[in-house]
Amino acid sequence: MNAVHSLPSSTRRWPALQRAEWGFLIAAIVLLALAVWGPHLPASAHQHNFADQRGWWGLPCALDVLSNLPFAVAGVWGLVWLRRLGALRLCLATRATAALFFVGLVVTTAGSSWYHWQPDDAGLLWDRLGMSVAFAGLLGLAVVGRISPRAGLATALGLLVAAPAAVLVWAHTGNLLPWAVVQIGGMLVVLALACLPHRHGALALQLGAVIAWYAAAKAMELADHAVYEATAGWVSGHTLKHLLAAGAALPVLFAMARLHHSRYIAAPVPRRAMQNGGQHGQ
């Protein structure tokens, strides 16, 4: 009898997957299958032909380069908030995925600036590798908040492998489909997660706002030349794309700021202060 009853205790070390975790796992498998066995998607022959080629003080494509600075600002700002909140306000999975996201923003600044300094395939490789880190952190953070911490950590680790692999596939074969699945498929997953309720105790991240910023950024990217012509050469769509994409970090920053301020609003009054107040009232 003792031996029979000891078996279930060992199996309970890893709790069974929840329904939401199963659904997310199935979605991940479908996206992976599409990336591996989907049709070949060639990159545009004009992908490096940006509208704004103007230099400034010897800096080529100046606005497309300098517009990457908000990524670094958001990344450093986020890391400062993480330090302020500490381990008492955020679970390990939230801190890990948020840190990955903010570090990814800083890395994206370097990769994207290098690429736009001299647009070519080699620079685009590093640009996308930097974005891979930010994608992994953001999607992992979203999954932590809506499904579970272990699912979020698994998502972040999985994307840290899958996204760079997709970039390398494009670099060696010219097939852009795996990278498109990472970008578009990832945002579709975030959209689906936005329909789920916040997990109790998780960071209250407004995923709808993240999607809105990202969608606006993609629209500006596609309208690069049209925006440049419409503004009489004042600004290009790709420059605005960088600014809007950096704005996708704001919902994460605001969620952390709200949590930081709620600590002081909800902080209990010390007993000694209550007693002193009661004595003065008497």
Q: What is the pLDDT of residues 109-138, one digit of tens each?
A: 999 999 999 999 999 999 999 999 999 999
* Coil/strand/helix, residue 56: strand
For 242, other C-beta atoms within 10 Å of its C-beta total 26
Averaged pLDDT in 10-residue chunks for the chain of 282 residues: 46 68 91 95 90 90 96 96 78 94 97 95 95 97 95 96 96 96 94 91 90 96 96 96 96 89 50 47 46
Task: Note the pLDDT of residue 269.
Answer: 42
* Angle at which helices 121-146 and 207-222 cross, to 10°: 160
Task: Note the pLDDT of residue 274.
Answer: 41
Task: Note the pLDDT of residue 157.
Answer: 97
Task: Note the pLDDT of residue 84.
Answer: 83
Task: Note the pLDDT of residue 259.
Answer: 81
Q: What is the pLDDT of residues 136-164, one digit of tens each?
A: 999 999 999 999 999 999 999 999 999 99
pTM reported for the whole predicted model:
0.86
Helices (H), the chain: 2-11, 19-37, 62-66, 69-89, 92-117, 121-146, 149-173, 177-180, 186-194, 207-222, 224-230, 237-247, 250-265, 271-281
Residue with tokens 């600075």: 69
Structure tokens, 14: 């890893």
